[in-house]
Amino acid sequence: METHPIINGFIPEKSKTIIVGTFPPKSEYENKPEFFFYSSVRNHLWNRMENIFPQYHLKKTSTKLKNISTEENKMHKQIFCSDKKIGFLDVFTKIERKVNDSSNDSDIIPKENIIDNGILFEHLDNNKNISRICCTYKLAYDYLLCGINKTQLQFKTNELTANKEEYIFTYNSRKISILLLYPATRSRQKGEIKDEQYRKLIFSI
């Protein structure tokens, strides 16, 4: 059984958007207290953020930001989140894997999630500004929708999302959009298309 290394996510005060993924690969977080969301070299989310906001330097690799420690890089990402009013939270808090150390979502066996344990609703109660939940992977999107009472969901089409869908989640008289982004990893969509989608759906700019 694996427990999420940042089980409550990172959601700064006044956040407007939560970016929701699945669960990090064990190789990315095990024995790494400096771990932060989407840290894998193969993941391009922080590349997208830099493309949208070039004044920030967020993606650390073996050749980029070599003089910045992983702890400093984590802090810079957290500052970016506060500045841009976004937060991160993964849908699964406890999992097992069909294949040990696999990084594939298809190998995830969910054991606990942010709906059943109330973590999502606690964040929504504590952060009244949250109006969007953007999912980076379809598995996260599907689990989120399956866990929410269907009477609280309203469907509409949205040409910007990865599946042309948008669900409006009514929570305590608030309207919260649930959206599927193009994946943060390699996919058939060009980088510029992802940048434009992320700009509009995550940041509304």
pLDDT in tens, 85-110: 999 999 999 999 999 888 899 999 99
* Mean residue pLDDT across the chain: 95
Instruction: Report the pLDDT value the prediction gives residue 144, as an integer from 0 to 100.
Output: 97
What mean pLDDT do residues 151-158 have? 97
Residues 6+ apart with CB under 8 A from 32: 5, 70
Among all chains, which residue has been given the structure tokens 């689990």? 143
End-to-end CA distance of the chain: 40
pLDDT band, residue 184 (cuts 50/70/90): confident
Query: What domains can you pick out in the chain, each with its CATH number?
Result: 2-203 (3.40.470.10)
Instruction: Report the pLDDT value the prediction gives residue 42, as an integer from 0 to 100.
Output: 86
**If you count them, how many residues does the chain have?**
205
pLDDT at 66 over 90: no
Instruction: Report the pLDDT value the prediction gives residue 188, as an integer from 0 to 100.
Output: 74
pLDDT band, residue 187 (cuts 50/70/90): confident
pLDDT band, residue 63 (cuts 50/70/90): confident
pTM: 0.95
Distance of CA 203 to the CA centre of its chain: 13
